[in-house]
Amino acid sequence: MRTRCRISPVVMAAALLPALYGCSRPGQDAGASSASASGNELTVLLDAGYAGAWPGGLDPATSTTGRANLTLMNAVFGGLFQLTADADGSNARVAGVLARDYEVRDDGRTLVIHLRDGVRFTDGTPFDAEAVKFNIERDLTSPCTCAPTAWPWRREEPVTIPDPHTVVLHFTRPYGAVVNALPATNVNWIVSPTALAQIGEAQFRITPVGAGPFRIVSNQLSSKLVLERNPTYWQQGRPYLDKLVFQSIGGEQAAMQVLQAGDAQVYEGMTSTPLIEHAMQDAGLAVTQQPPTSPYVVQLNTAHPPFDDKRAREAIYYATDVEAIRTGLFRGWYPVSQSFTGPGGLFHHGTVPGYRGYDPARARAIVAELGGLHITLGTLRSFVAEQVTTALQSQWREAGIDVSIETHDFAVLIREFQVGKWDAMLQTAGSYDPEASGGVSFRFRSDQPFTGVHDPKLDALLLDAAASFDTHERDGLYLQAAHYISDNAYGPFLFAFASTQVFARDVSGPGLSTKIPAILVNTGIWWQDVRIAAR
Amino acid sequence: MTADAAATSATRMPLAAKPGEASTGRSKRSRFGPLALIGGRILAAVPVLFGVSLLTFVALNVLPGNAAQQLLGADATPEQIARFEAELDLDRPAVERYLSWLGHVLTGDLGHSLASRQPVAGLVAERLPVTLELVAFAFALALALALPAALLSARRPHGAVDRLTRIAGMAALSVPNYVLALVLVLIFSVNLRLFPSIGFVPIDEGFWRNVKSLTLPGTAIALPLFGFYCRFLRNDLLEQLETEAYIVAAKARGVRSWRILVLHALRNSAFGLLTIVALNFGTLISGTVIIEQIFALPGLGRLLLQAVLTRDVVVVQALVLLLASFTIAANLCADLLYAVLDPRVRHGHR
């Protein structure tokens, strides 16, 4: 009896040893323990807190999370347009998918979209201008922030269809970002009007019908979406995959283990620095860091003390050591930004002349001159933002600034802006096109709800830039706006953050193994072109 | 309170009050049989469920934000939020909304999700089997491990097996189940590739695949339970063996020690264990939230978390009501089982 008892733990330890040994050496023999795709099926993991949450379903007109669910939407609906780029992320441009091409007329007041010929929805009905018009008009009634209701649509007949393959959008004034912003709006995703009428709106939220590369097999909201190849997809030989499964998962640590166990092959938008490094060391995994478009900015509330005083704002600029945060927390992966653009986006300029850099002595002197500076720094709850606010707090304290940190949920953040008593907020300000939703206007224009700046001159610059279709003119105006923001110390920019794709080495495709800038937060993967290498 | 102390106090409760009246003091009612017991419990459950639903509603309304804000996200304008609130009927007074919900529930209609507009009953029906199967699996595994371990420990107190199960039990109790889950995945999915790290396979798609998909999440839930049940049962068995007269009588009759342990002491100790298991049941379903999230299981716990995050009040209220009903039903089942196990309860004798 005694002997048996002594053996038990030994046997247990012997059984667990190989496993534990494997755990302690992640880099070695990792090929044997990491994700690889099986057959022609792919399982994609999505963060349950963002891209992996689709509580309202996937109907573009009724979902309220379409922008976060960009990847699901593109897989099911294909999209009229998608952002593409060369393999290294350069030469980014909006390209037609279900639309053949587009032209801008009437000095930017009219956008003509030419549709592809012979495209059909997966229910067999034709994908034509009538369907697109029906969709756009329906989508504009959506409460989703992804509905482009703020575009300057013509009141009467905003959409016309001169022929079955042409759709014309009419605006009251030019809107320069219309094409660049379109791939992240719900009007980009076209559903079958016939299927909608047949199924009914309630069920259509769960199993919408599109003309994209995949069709829905099953949809468990915010949990699991199972798709199969659309055999009638317009592009010959596409998609390559037979089956595509999107699985929502809570936590990046758990996601990494699932990839290493081989139960999934892709994780979209990883943010944790240690886990990205871990993936880089794993021979079975590949990592693509996408070109950043959205810089972090410390918004300062200029309507409210202490930041109604320019000196207090300057102190924040001088007290902020961006390089230390960038290298200390993020291994130097994300480039420093001095304005509202990132290297992956349009109209990017790496530096802004006269930008106030790190100068703790000057920061301390200003704080002393002000007789002290007590502020609250808020942010939206997220791994990266919370790390950055902690770093800022420590840097600013060294300059004599007394900083309290508040981390908010959506609702509290919204209320803070509504009440208007906040001091400073760490946010992102950017998108592929600076004017597109979540871009510079969103954070700096007086008429926007989430701004801390109320300056008519800056408003005019941003409005002029948004109204122009002339690339050179827009570039000049945004450079002026960046200058103006810097000169007035309206908010220090930190670094341009980008999400990271982690995936099995035998998987490849645009936006996954190649670089495409994020149109807003996530990169749009071209699922029709994703393939698994023959093994 | 330590596990041992908790175990000891829980053990004494049914013994002191006599089995069958541990938590309810229903000795008179038991004379009218199980139907009266069920009827009485259902009547008593009504105010409990009402209170639970009211508290949930108040709590969700006190929290900042609502479904409209959560669903539209951080870049929604106040106008967009106001429009959506009206669409979701969230602009109506809270009391009116609660009474309307209550009225529908009384007619058997759990309402429609604010987020997806799907019937809540359908969402529950879709997710309930996953959670029930997970919880049943965890209970079965915990009991299957705890029973023999407790019997072996009680047979030779302070012996090698007792010491080993004490260490294993304390370790299982000390490690949070989400950490345990990650360790299990690391060992059995990443390194040994024995079990899937995520997902649920329904039983109609293959029995073994179903069992495999539940093994790691079920184990992550079962191990802490094992630790608790094992200590609890071991202490109770020892108390029976050392203090009860019927054990002395059995020994005097020459009954073999294993027989005394399994047929006499265990049967009496089962009352305490049954109480604990019944009390655990309701909390365990709620406790699946984290495990279902880690293993991406489409169960009630995950639905509850998603509903809380989106402030989907209708879904949260329905689920809380359901979980409270489960807890009440589990306790009722325990009481009925007392009657099965103990003839004194069955026949109304004290």
For residue range A116-148, list pLDDT tens digits in order.
Answer: 999 999 999 999 999 999 999 999 999 888 899
- pLDDT-wise least confident of A175-179, A334-338, B3-7, B147-151: B3-7
Answer whether B198 sits within 8 Å of A247, measured CB to CB: yes
Q: Which bin fits A128, alpha (ψ -120 to 50), beta or left (φ > 0)?
A: beta
Q: Print burial letters for A500-512: b (CB count within 10 Å at least 16), e (below 16).
A: bbbbbbbbbbbbb
In chain A, residues with a C-beta closer than 8 Å to the C-beta of B296 are: 223-224, 247-250, 258
- Tracing tokens 């690391």 back to the chain, one arrives at B186
pLDDT reading at A431 higher than 50:
yes
In chain B, residues with a C-beta closer than 8 Å to the C-beta of A257 are: 182, 185-186, 189-190, 197
Answer whether B198 sits within 8 Å of A8, measured CB to CB: no
Backbone angles phi, psi at B7, to 5 degrees: -60, -45
- Tracing tokens 């880099």 back to the chain, one arrives at A27
Answer whether B64 sits within 8 Å of A263, measured CB to CB: no
The minimal CB distance from A258 to the residues B71, B75, B197 is found for B197
The minimal CB distance from A143 to the residues B78, B87, B302 is found for B87
Residue B344: pLDDT band (50, 70, 90) is: low
Q: Which bin fits A124, alpha (ψ -120 to 50), beta or left (φ > 0)?
A: left
- Closest Cα in chain A, distance from residue B220 (Å): 14
**Which of A204, A414, A427, A443 is the best mutation test for B, with the most CBs of B within 10 A?**
A414
More confident call, B145 vs A439: B145
Q: What is the pLDDT of residue A26?
A: 36
How many Å apart are CA A478 and CA B295, to the nearest integer?
46
CB neighbour list of residue B205: distance below 8 Å, 6 or more residues apart: none
Backbone angles phi, psi at A515, to 5 degrees: -95, 135
Q: What is the pLDDT of residue B257?
A: 80
In chain A, residues with a C-beta closer than 8 Å to the C-beta of B305 are: 250
Q: Distance of CA A415 to CAs A452, B81, B114, B155, B268, Å?
A: 14, 11, 21, 63, 58
Residue B108: pLDDT band (50, 70, 90) is: confident
Helices (H), A322-444: 322-330, 360-370, 383-398, 410-419, 440-444
Q: What is the pLDDT of residue B347?
A: 62
Closest residue on chain B to A201 (Cα): B117
Give yes or no for A221 touching B (CB within 8 A). yes
Is there a contact between B267 and B341 (Cβ–Cβ < 8 Å)?
Answer: yes
**What share of chain A has pLDDT > 70, as a percent?**
92
Q: Which amino acid is at B66?
A: N
pLDDT reading at A283 higher than 90:
yes
In chain B, residues with a C-beta closer than 8 Å to the C-beta of A11 are: none
- pLDDT-wise least confident of A101-115, A287-301, A497-511, B68-82: B68-82
In chain B, residues with a C-beta closer than 8 Å to the C-beta of A1 are: 160
Name the residue among B186, B137, B130, B182 with its Cα closest to residue B300. Answer: B130
Answer whether A22 sits within 8 Å of B116, measured CB to CB: no
pLDDT reading at B337 higher than 80:
no
Mean pLDDT to the nearest integer, A519-530? 91
Cα angle for residues A477, A479, A482 (degrees, 5° grid): 110
Which 325-354 residues of chain A touch chain B by CB within 8 A? none
**What share of chain A has pLDDT > 90, as a percent?**
79
The minimal CB distance from A253 to the residues B71, B161, B182 is found for B182
Is there a contact between A366 and A318 (Cβ–Cβ < 8 Å)?
Answer: yes
The minimal CB distance from B74 to the residues A19, A261, A410 is found for A410
- Closest Cα in chain A, distance from residue B94 (Å): 18
**Which of A34, A207, A263 is the best mutation test for B, with the most CBs of B within 10 A?**
A263
Answer whether B302 sits within 8 Å of A223, measured CB to CB: yes
In chain A, residues with a C-beta closer than 8 Å to the C-beta of B69 are: 410-411, 414
For chain B, the average pLDDT equals 83
Q: What is the pLDDT of residue A35?
A: 56
Helices (H), A34-150: 70-77, 129-139
Predicted ipTM beyond 0.90: no
- Closest Cα in chain A, distance from residue B241 (Å): 22
Answer whether A220 sits within 8 Å of B298, measured CB to CB: yes
Q: What does the H/E/C string look like for chain B?
A: CCHHHHHHHHHHHHHHHCCCCCCCCCCCHHHHHHHHHHHHHHHHHHHHHHHHHHHHHHHHHHCCCCHHHHHHCCCCCHHHHHHHHHHCCCCCCHHHHHHHHHHHHHCCCCCECCCCCCEHHHHHHHHHHHHHHHHHHHHHHHHHHHHHHHHHHHHCCCCHHHHHHHHHHHHHHHCCHHHHHHHHHHHHHHHCCCCCCCCCCCHHHCHHHHHHHHHHHHHHHHHHHHHHHHHHHHHHHHHHHHHCHHHHHHHHCCCCHHHHHHHHHHHHHHHHHHHHHHHHHHHHHHHHHHHHHHCCCCCHHHHHHHHHHCCCHHHHHHHHHHHHHHHHHHHHHHHHHHHHHCHHHHCCCC
pLDDT reading at A375 higher than 50:
yes
Size of interface A-B (CB pairs under 8 A): 165
How many Å apart are CA A64 and CA A59, to the nearest integer?
9
Q: For strand A493-497 and strand A243-249, is the pairing parallel, antiparallel, or unpaired?
A: unpaired
- Tracing tokens 């209609």 back to the chain, one arrives at B109
Cα angle for residues B264, B265, B268 (degrees, 5° grid): 90
How many Å apart are CA A420 and CA A459, to the nearest integer?
19
Q: What is the pLDDT of residue B89?
A: 86
The minimal CB distance from B75 to the residues A145, A251, A418 is found for A145
- Closest Cα in chain B, distance from residue A441 (Å): 12
Q: Strand A110-115's sheet: what is its strand order?
A: A99-105, A110-115, A166-170, A159-163
Answer whether A206 sits within 8 Å of B116, measured CB to CB: yes
In chain A, residues with a C-beta closer than 8 Å to the C-beta of B191 are: 18-19, 22-23, 33
More confident call, A154 vs B4: A154
How many Å apart are CA B184 and CA B216, to the nearest integer?
7
State the first-to-last Cα distance of chain B, in angstroms, to the nearest integer: 32
Q: What is the pLDDT of residue A12?
A: 40
Which 390-419 residues of chain A touch chain B by CB within 8 A? 409-415, 418
Cα angle for residues A211, A217, A220 (degrees, 5° grid): 115
Answer whether A143 sits within 8 Å of B164, measured CB to CB: no
The minimal CB distance from B193 to the residues A20, A67, A261 is found for A261
Q: For residue A297, what are the β-bridge partners?
A: A427, A493
Answer whether A202 sits within 8 Å of B117, measured CB to CB: yes
Q: Is the pTM of this model over 0.95?
A: no
pLDDT reading at B10 higher than 90:
no
Cα angle for residues B159, B162, B163 (degrees, 5° grid): 85
Name the residue among A268, A224, A262, A261 with its Cα closest to residue A243. Answer: A224
In chain B, residues with a C-beta closer than 8 Å to the C-beta of A222 are: 306
Closest residue on chain B to A2 (Cα): B160
Closest residue on chain A to B116 (Cα): A56
Widest CA span in chain A: 93
The minimal CB distance from B74 to the residues A205, A250, A413 is found for A413
The minimal CB distance from A257 to the residues B77, B83, B197 is found for B197
pLDDT reading at A337 higher than 90:
yes
Answer whether A18 sits within 8 Å of B191, measured CB to CB: yes
DSSP state, residue A504: E
Which 250-279 residues of chain A touch chain B by CB within 8 A? 250-251, 253-254, 257-258, 260-264
Q: DSSP 3-state assignment of A119? A: coil
Q: DSSP 3-state assignment of A100? A: strand
Which 50-79 residues of chain A touch chain B by CB within 8 A? 53, 55-57, 62, 64-65, 67-68
The tens digit of pLDDT for each residue in B207-255 reads 999 999 999 999 999 999 999 999 999 998 988 888 888 888 888 888 7
Mean pLDDT to the nearest integer, A394-400? 97
Answer whether A53 sits within 8 Å of B159, measured CB to CB: no
Give yes or no for A447 touching B (CB within 8 A). no
Answer whether B64 sits within 8 Å of A409, measured CB to CB: yes
In chain B, residues with a C-beta closer than 8 Å to the C-beta of A221 are: 115-116, 118, 306
Give yes or no for A24 touching B (CB within 8 A). no
How many Å apart are CA B42 and CA B40, to the nearest integer?
5
Q: For strand A243-249 and strand A224-229, is the pairing parallel, antiparallel, or unpaired?
A: antiparallel
Q: Print burial letters for A360-392: b (CB count within 10 Å at least 16), e (below 16).
A: bebbbebbeeeeebebebbbbeeebbebbbebb
The minimal CB distance from A5 to the residues B77, B161, B305 is found for B161
Widest CA span in chain B: 84
